[in-house]
Structure formats: structure tokens, C-alpha cells
Structure 1
Amino acid sequence: MELSCKTEYGILALLELAACYHKGEPLQIRQIAAIQNIPDRYLEQLLATLRRGGLIRSQRGARGGYLLAREPWKINLLEVVDCLEGLDPKTSDEEAITKSLESAVIREVWQEVDQTAKAVLLRYTLQDLCERRDARRQLDIMYYI
């Protein structure tokens, strides 16, 4: 399993919005793109998808930009991945019957992997990622004598 560029960029953008959530000030696309080194045009598309998904909201005007739609501790990574990538639809029982025994066994294991991955993504929020990032930054600036 691999994290797509689309999802990684989307989460990076959301982390920037989460970091300034308490200020209540929106971030503009160019600010997020510069901080996270994401192409502006691509980021614009991602933010539109996240807005349609209800994870962020836009604010118009001279000081306009994007803000999280909810608190960062209320947005889990499963929501983000579902918004950006969509979750795989379940196969119908009829399809499962027509497959071989081996295919059915493989599908059962893959469904278990899928459920486990979803459980992990559900457990982590944007706030959790911000806290991990901040903890690592603290470690990076520490020095030992």
C-alpha cells in the first residue's frame, strides 16, 4: 500500500490549515503552496475537492483564503482519504459467488487489511499529526553537549 501524491499533498495542506486554526485567519493557496512546496494549480484542485467534501471552507475578500470547516481534533484521516481518493465500493455477493475459491480467500484477507487500515486512519486526527510534527520539530532543534 502506498500513499498517493494527491492524498499526501491534501494532508499537508490540511496540516497548515490546522496549525493556524486557533488564529482564525484563512490561508491563501500561494501561502500553503510555498510552505509545503506544492504546485499552485494542483493545490487549487485539491482544496476545491476538500471544500466540496466539507473539510474546509473558503472565505472571500482581500484577506480571504481557506480555513478548516471543523476543529482539527474532529477531522480524522479516514475522512480526508475518503474525500480525496474515495473508498473502494464493496463487491456484491453475486460477484463473490462467481469467483474461484482462491480468489475468495485472497479477497477475505484483503478486506481484513482494508478494515485494519481504515481503523488506523479513523484513530488519527489532524490535531494528532500537528502534535507529532511539533514534537519532531522540538527534537530537531535540541542539541546535546
Structure 2
Amino acid sequence: MEISCKSEYAILALIELATYYQSGEPLQIRQIAAQQKIPDRYLEQLLATLRRGGLVKSQRGSRGGYLLMREPWRITIFEVLECLEGLDIKVSEEETKPKTLDSGVVEEIWQEARQAANSVLQKYTLADLCEKRDSRKQLDIMYYI
């Protein structure tokens, strides 16, 4: 299971927005793009999708930019991927009737793997990712004496 470039860039942008959430100041696309090394135009498209998905909001004006719609600890990675990739954990009626016994076994295992992955993605929030990043930064600082 791999993360798409689109999802990775979106999560990086959201981590940047989560970092500045407490300040209440919106971040401009160029600030996020420079900090996370994401192409500006691509980031603009991603943020528009995230805005339509209810994860970020935009603020117009000279001090405008983007803000998280909710607190970072209330936005899960699953929500982000669902917004961008259209993840769907429900199984359609057609998929419930396997063609052969073997394909039924394969489908059962695949469904279990999907549920396990979704469970992990639902467990982690943007705040958790920021926390992990910050703790790794502390470890890096310790090595440079």
C-alpha cells in the first residue's frame, strides 16, 4: 500500500497549517509551498479540494490565506485521504458474491487488510503527526552537541 503524491503533499500542507493553528493567522500558499517544498500551482489545487471537503477554509484579503476548519486533533488522516482519494470502506452488493471459492477467500483477506489500514488511518490525527515530528526534531537536536 502506497500513499499517492497528491495525498502526501496534502498531508504535508495540513501539517503546516496545524503547526500554526494556535496563532489563528492564515498561511498563504507560497508560505506553505516554500516550507514543505510543494509546487505552488499543485498546492493551490489540493487546498481547493480540501476546502470543498470541509477540512480547510480560505480567508480573503491582504492578510488572507488558509486555515484549518477544525482543531488539528479533530482531523484524522483517514478524513484527509477520504477527501482526496474517495476512500470507501463499504462493500457493494456485487462484491459480496464471489465468483469462485478461491476469489471469495482472497476478497475476505483483502477486506480484512483494508479494515486494518482504515483503522490505523482513523486513529492518527494531524496533531499526532505534528507531535511525532516535534519529538523527532528534539532527537535530532540532541545529536548535534
User: Do these two structures clear the TM 0.5 threshold for a shared fold by scoring above it?
Assistant: yes
What's the counterpart of residue 75 of structure 2? 75
Note the C-alpha offset of 1:94.
3.9
Q: Distance in 2 between matches of 1:126 and 1:39?
A: 21
| Matched positions, count | 145
Note the C-alpha offset of 1:98.
5.4
Note the C-alpha offset of 1:104.
1.3
What is the DSSP-based 3-state SS (H/G/I as helix, E as strand, rest coil) of the residue aligned with 1:87? coil
TM-score normalised over the length of structure 1: 0.94
Aligned positions of 1:43-82 closer than 5 A:
43-82=43-82
What is the DSSP-based 3-state SS (H/G/I as helix, E as strand, rest coil) of the residue aligned with 1:61? coil
Percent sequence identity over matched residues? 70
Note the C-alpha offset of 1:10.
0.4
Change (3 A) 1:12 1:144: closer
Q: Specify the code of the residue in structure 1 equivalent to 2:87.
A: L
Note the C-alpha offset of 1:100.
1.5
Change (3 A) 1:144 1:107: same
What's the counterpart of residue 18 of structure 2? 18
1:141 counterpart = 2:133: no
What's the counterpart of residue 86 of structure 2? 86
What's the counterpart of residue 114 of structure 1? 114
Note the C-alpha offset of 1:101.
1.4
What's the counterpart of residue 7 of structure 1? 7
Q: Specify the code of the residue in structure 2 equivalent to 1:29.
A: I
Note the C-alpha offset of 1:144.
6.9
Unaligned runs of 5+ in 2: none
RMSD across aligned C-alpha pairs, in angstroms? 1.5
Q: Distance in 1 between matches of 2:135 and 2:114?
A: 29
TM-score normalised over the length of structure 2: 0.94
Note the C-alpha offset of 1:126.
0.3
**Per-residue Cα deviation, 1:73-125 (whole angstroms, up to 9, x for no partner):** 00011100100111146443344435121111111111100000010011100
Unaligned runs of 5+ in 1: none
1:128 counterpart = 2:128: yes
What is the DSSP-based 3-state SS (H/G/I as helix, E as strand, rest coil) of the residue aligned with 1:99? coil
Segments of 4+ moved more than 2 angstroms = 88-98
Q: Distance in 1 between matches of 2:129 and 2:69?
A: 17
